[in-house]
Structure 1
């Protein structure tokens, strides 16, 4: 998780109730494919016709509820906001409107981008060319870190996991273009092809830039492979205890004495006496690797990292080659979005919060905050009741679980205060420099937090984001305005559909506070054990069974879900559905149960609501990538995966022993 501290003092703006009034159907029964049995394959039963009628657009690698809503938020709503702003004249320099308008304009000014070529990168390339020693390399890569250019390690400030009220400096492994160690070592033909394509891609990019390096693709892949093999896997990185190594700054010099840490950190304006090291062994091994690596290899690698970081801001040939590899080879996209669509998304990436302020004001009604707050409190109440009924947890640990649950805070819609972006320098004709200025602002915003109290009002997502998150360091759940729309939250839908949608999402985020990672943090957000030894062993036995269950699901030939990587999200899905189901059931107490709608009972519609928010199609390339780097299971398995463990699903649909989505009671996993 990444969170960003606010440095501005802008007060919140009263939001206008101008949300869309278009009515969206609660659930479209035409999406159902009765060729499938609900008890054998619920995803294809509930969504089969939707998937047939909604093929993946050529510009996408996956297509589902999240993508469709994101497209509406970005390419329709944000586009309208940006278009309105760019139509204004004489915008004052440094205002958010001027920054948005001129950044957007600079992205669309392809004539100037073509004319300038790679000239905007020349100051950085000259510094790379001037490297003669490992100490020189440390200084140059440190300076490039401020621009978001990756190298073997990186620094960032965040709340101290063992003193969550204060920010501290963290160190982490980095520098892999393919994203995860498995891409560098898997022997299957599909992954080998990715590596071969990567070599060709690097060679092509260097050729376009006119760089004289010989076989740069082979050089870069070789160094990154050596780095990958000494890094922690993405499963090992899930362990917050293993990756928390509080040290004095001087220990960096002890562990990696041949790397000039002072030059590296000074160029980043980092001043800290303490640093949380992710993996000491990695630093020692990286030191040996860097010392043994020729300087020319390190220079080639650094030029590549610079080039790939800014490829999207360079002339068309670079941009298209960058898309070919990272878009087509890695994820299966067939075509780029239009320049206008990409201009909107790039503006959103660099100036997301200023845009978010306008988005929330126009599209998120104040009344929705109250409604979502009520939903959250309903989930909190049911979670407490579920804790009381647990048979595997002792009373003393239950007491601490209740304390943590009661301490949960939440944020809904948009921040209460907004950051000050006025120092970002944006001009119409300098796209790459505009991106650099935004990156420098973001770097300073983060580094300035070191040693200062945590601002718990800060947000880690923009209001227009179609997502939600749990932050264990704040013990908070956060729901941006972007996700509080159909099909996740539909004010015109019956309760069963909404409980299967947004309430299950809320329950999902609550459960993250008690998953394999979140359960290691206490009510104050500190990494601290609050479990008895027996209770933790009981919990681990349950999660290991769930790991084994998901690890048996093959999504493509030779590619199975990594149950250890996805355990947190899988536990949260199972918990979220359980909480939402019983919150819905509780809401009917003292009332007459709802009558069937479209022939479906409220129990059945609850599960249709769950299936609806996860319906989607995905390319094989994107699916292979997801399996290797993403802690979330594929959408199909987020629908079907938890259901056999819920007797409530079996009862709702009349499933019987022998049906594919029925497990014997002894094999079901119930955690929360």
Structure 2
């Protein structure tokens, strides 16, 4: 008999199918190897799997419906849907886009090219930021300490490579060389001399290298509460000497605030060293690189193709996204909530919504029971946790009303795609910034109805389940209870668990960052959180290894989600075998190696296949259901099983 060494995550490489694998040795491979063996990643995608299949189903429905609206010249009576259809039509008109070539961007490129010095940058900063983007950014969000009001947040820019850690990888210079070559080609296609283009790119890449040493890594960003660093406006401005920040903010904001939340204190400390007259050429080069690469997809097919190699190198994607799907992404990128309402009304029924709502309420009851019977929390912390749990706001399917921004957006069919996107972006940015002096609208949804995803918002204490995710294999009215709990049930409890993960645990029932724990309880929670970090840290997947700290919040949610789904399934007398099998099936995924590498660098989620075995190994019911023995690959000694919620 073949013996396996029991390890975290089971035995075997999750990227390599083995149809002979037993559940007892590797749950993921046992359930998914047959599919994985025959699965083919489409040339225009980076992966294939359950989630990709759902995405493709949604996209196919939406593109077909949009095409019919265009051909019939008839749009359903959903507010602002006609604007989305018009933008889709403009984006899909490649005859015009190809004829226009670089013409739509000529004026803006010449204006950037003519920017002569740092004084000019200071003088025209707001206009430059609107069109090209400056190497810092402001956002308006709910104040973490008082979620009834908005606050101004400040952060640095992203880097050209996926993450700051990417610059330490062996292939960093190769990737940057691809970006360099691509950018020079795009600039020369737009009419710039090759010599000038090369100078801009060389200078911009130098500035990017400086940024990479200062801005936050994905691991650092994963600590959400650590982004809350309030500065008085005067203290904030005192850090900045050369750039006319007060003048910039006066023009940007409806009113100057008393404080600024600095999300990246290290970047602010280095701001003066980065943004100054001596670095002007590098800043300008960085803006040129960002501008020309960011808009290449808004121009002709030739520009789209010329702007593809760097993305291709990062993702391994074999072919450019087809024109029709690209056009859908453009329209959905601007009018996602409008299109989501359309999708929800057409494809998500009231019966399904009622059933999912019932499952969520049952899951909340299960969660309350688990907290009440928790053996490591004090009564005081338990009571406060239950108050937070009961205050959860449920958002299921799609919103009843859309955000007011969509009434402000206008699409002009006589103008190019680039001109429309530029105008739309300006309105969207102003709308977002103008929230600063307005109360927080807690009814806002973070996800549209046509999205295959779900989320928890710690500052609103709400959970959102768009219509897009509420389909097989995650959920189906005709699936067994065990299958539904292994799919959407675990996902529901996953999102609830985010209210009590290492980030969510620091916010109260109103979404305010407030400590509601006893010291002893929080010490024990941190000990268990560290166990969740350790069990994933260094786990191999394809060409990369997981960073346990970076993905800990999502892994806490996975562990709690599966545990609670199992308990709810027991209450409903569902099949435990079906639950575990559908849980494994719902995370089936086959990715290109380049995509794995990029995902692990930038995502706070572990790759989908790695989210199956460890949560299952930490459930006693898994061992009982499949008679797992200490000699089996999926065995974890009881004392090594991570238990939080």
TM (norm. structure 2) is 0.92
Residue 138 (structure 1) shift: 4.3
Shift of residue 322, structure 1, vs aligned partner:
1.8
Q: Any stretches of 5+ residues in structure 1 without a counterpart?
A: 1-31, 589-593, 595-601
Normalising by the residue count of structure 1, what TM-score does the alignment of the two structures yield? 0.89
Q: Is the aligned partner of 1:199 residue 2:184?
A: no
1:376 to 360, 373, 379: 360
Shift of residue 267, structure 1, vs aligned partner: 4.9
Q: How big is each residue's C-alpha offset from its partner over 1:490-548, in whole Å with a ceiling of 9 and x where there is no partner?
A: 11111100000001000000000000100010111001111111111111111112211
Aligned to 2:160: 177
CA displacement at 1:140 relative to structure 2: 4.4
Could you say if the C-alpha distance between residues 319 and 390 of structure 1 is closer, same or farther in structure 2, counting changes exceeding 3 Å?
Answer: same
Instruction: Indicate the residue corresponding to 2:610 in structure 1.
Output: 637
1:562 match: secondary structure = coil
How do 1:105-504 residues align onto structure 2 when only pairs under 5 Å count?
A: 105-138=89-122, 140-146=124-130, 149-184=132-167, 186-188=168-170, 190-211=171-192, 212-273=196-257, 274-291=259-276, 293-326=278-311, 328-420=312-404, 421-429=406-414, 430-504=416-490
Q: Name the structure 1 match of 2:549.
A: 564
Q: Quote how far apart the aligned CAs of 1:215 are.
A: 4.0
Q: Structure 1 residue runs of 4+, over 6 Å off?
A: none
* Matching residue of 1:20: none
**Secondary structure of 2:435 counterpart:** coil
Residues 147, 512 of structure 2: 8 Å contact kept: yes
Q: Deviations over 1:377-430 (max 9, x none)?
A: 111111111112222222211111111111111100111212342432323351
Stretch deviating more after TM superposition (437-446 or 286-295): 286-295
Instruction: Give the whole-Å Cα distance in 2 for the aligned partners of 1:437 and 1:479.
Output: 31
Partner of 1:79: 63
- 1:266 shift after superposition: 4.5
Q: Quick check: 2:94–2:300 contact (8 Å CA) kept in 1?
A: yes
| Structure 2 unaligned blocks of 5 or more | 1-16
SS class of match (2:446):
coil
Rounded Cα–Cα distance in structure 2 between residues aligned with 1:370 and 1:337: 37
Query: How far apart are the structure 2 equivalents of 1:394 and 1:133?
Result: 62
The 1:459/1:645 distance shift into structure 2, 3 A limit, reads same
Once the 2 structures are TM-superposed, how far is the Cα of residue 586 of structure 1 from its aligned partner? 1.3
Whole-angstrom CA distance in 1 between matches of 2:523 and 2:297: 49
**Which segment drifts farther, 232-241 or 569-578?**
232-241
Counterpart of 1:523 in structure 2 is 509
Q: Could you give the per-residue CA deviations for residues 314-369 of structure 1, whole angstroms, max 9, x where no partner exists?
A: 1223211222211x101110012321121122211122122222211211112222
For 2:500, which of 514, 517, 533 is the aligned residue? 514
The 8 Å contact of residues 308 and 322 in structure 1, kept in 2 or not, is answered as yes
Query: Once the 2 structures are TM-superposed, how far is the Cα of residue 263 of structure 1 from its aligned partner?
Result: 4.0
Shift of 1:176: 1.6
Question: In structure 1, how many angstroms separate the alpha carbons of the residues matched to 2:101 and 2:165?
Answer: 35
Deviation larger for 240-249 or 540-549: 240-249
In structure 2, distance between residues paired with 1:433 and 1:223: 28
Change (3 A) 1:215 1:52: farther
Q: 1:306 to 1:140 in 2, by over 3 A?
A: farther
Flag the 1:560–1:141 CA change in 2: closer, same or farther, 3 A: farther
Deviates more, 1:503-512 or 1:274-283: 274-283
- Measured against aligned partners, the alpha-carbon deviations of 1:288-327 in whole angstroms (never above 9, x if no partner) come to 122264322222211211112211111223211222211x
Establish whether residue 652 from structure 1 lines up as the match of residue 625 from structure 2.
Answer: yes
Distance change (3 Å), C-alpha of 1:487 and 1:135: farther
* Partner in structure 2 of residue 23 of structure 1: none
- Give the 3-state SS of the residue equivalent to 1:499 in structure 2: helix
Q: Residues 304 and 422 (structure 1 numbering): CA distance in 2 closer, same or farther, change over 3 Å? A: same
- Note the C-alpha offset of 1:52: 1.8
The 1-side partners of 2:447 and 2:246 are apart by 32
Does the 8 Å CA contact 2:121/2:128 hold for their aligned counterparts?
no
CA shift at 1:95, angstroms? 7.0
Change (3 A) 1:270 1:39: farther
CA distance in 2, matches of 1:399, 1:258: 52
Instruction: Go from structure 1 to structure 2 and tell me whether the alpha carbon gap of 1:548 and 1:41 turns closer, same or farther (over 3 Å shift).
Output: same
Check the 8 A contact 2:152/2:261 in 1, yes or no: yes
User: Of the candidates 597, 608, 624, which is equivalent to residue 597 of structure 2?
Assistant: 624
1:232 to partner: Cα distance: 2.1
CA separation of 1:198 and 1:641: change in aligned 2, threshold 3 A: farther
CA 1:117/1:663 → structure 2, altered by over 3 Å: closer, same or farther?
Answer: same
Q: What is the RMSD computed on CA atoms of the aligned residues?
A: 2.2
Q: Give secondary structure in 2 for the equivalent of 1:477.
A: strand
CA shift in 2, pair 1:655/1:139, >3 Å: farther
Tell me if structure 1 keeps the 8 A contact 2:165–2:601: yes
CA displacement 1:590-624 (0-9 Å, x = unmatched): xxxx6xxxxxxx11111111011110100000000
How far 1:139 sits from its partner (Å)? 5.3
TM-superposed deviation, 1:153: 1.3
Match of 2:38 among 53, 72, 87: 53
